[in-house]
Amino acid sequence: MTDESMRSDAHKENKGLPIDRWQVAHIRSPEELIADYSLPRPHLITEILSRRLVMADGGHLSEDDIWQWSVAERLRALASIVSDSGASEFSAIAACLAADCDQLIQLNLDLAAIRQPSDVDGIYCFVSSGERLQLRLPTGTDQRTLLKLRDADDLGLVREMATRLVVSVDGGSLAPDTPCPPEWISTIETALAANDPAYYTEEIVTCPECGHDNPVEIDLEELLIDRLMQQQEQLFQQIDLLATAYRWSESAIVGLPEWRRERYVGLVSRR
């Protein structure tokens, strides 16, 4: 496949569903809740979303649909799944970068803010050589494609992604089989970060011990996945406890509303 056809396909695939057309589904079976966390991250996220989300009208939402969503929308969907468990915030831990200070700093992140839909309709920027670029947000499909480029170095992967995200140059297409010039990359990254904060998140956190201001890059995907892994481990423990106490099946335990499952766990624990 040529670079031009890849860019064209990716542009067509960027038309993900509006955020109000899906919802988090009630869990009915273990298969909907238990994921294989050894998968590469883009595949893991697609698996989680396809199992936990449905259309707003209750209809099926396929993996093909979810691959086409922007990375930002996939992130917001993950945050909605974590929030559905009752969580309103989660934490990131960073170490102070000041000399002679090893203080760990906790940064609390608001799930509601991450879940806010993006109103990005078009992203435009001017590069140093004067051209006006129209960009789009990266999708799950873009991430999946980059996973296949195992022989490329980091710069090659960044350049490939930047090339895929250029929709037009001065209103026309980038020439076929022409990669994005390296000098455009930083401008493209800045434009994406400015137009969709979920694409890139950095916070300035003040150390409570020494007062040093620390720039902290936050991997929201990783933090949300870690939270879901914790929830899955907690579920395994609940299944083990209730199956031993009541001889219930895995499906029966997972199918219980969470508040009832936790009530039974409390009863067994007090015996």
Q: Quick: pLDDT tens for 196-237.
A: 765 557 788 888 889 999 888 888 889 899 988 988 898 899
Global pTM reads 0.80
Calculate the average pLDDT of the chain.
83
Provide the 8-state DSSP code for 30: H
Percent of the chain with pLDDT over 90: 34
* Burial of residue 96 (number of CB atoms within 10 Å: 0-12, 13-18, 19+): buried
pLDDT at 39: 94
pLDDT at 127: 93
Q: Higher-confidence residue: 32 or 104?
A: 104
Distance CA 6, CA 173 (A): 13
Q: How confident is the model at residue 114 (pLDDT cuts 50, 70, 90)?
A: confident
* Burial of residue 135 (number of CB atoms within 10 Å: 0-12, 13-18, 19+): buried
Q: Quick: pLDDT tens for 164-183.
A: 999 999 988 887 778 889 99
If one counts every other C-beta atom within 10 angstroms of the C-beta of residue 253, the result is 20
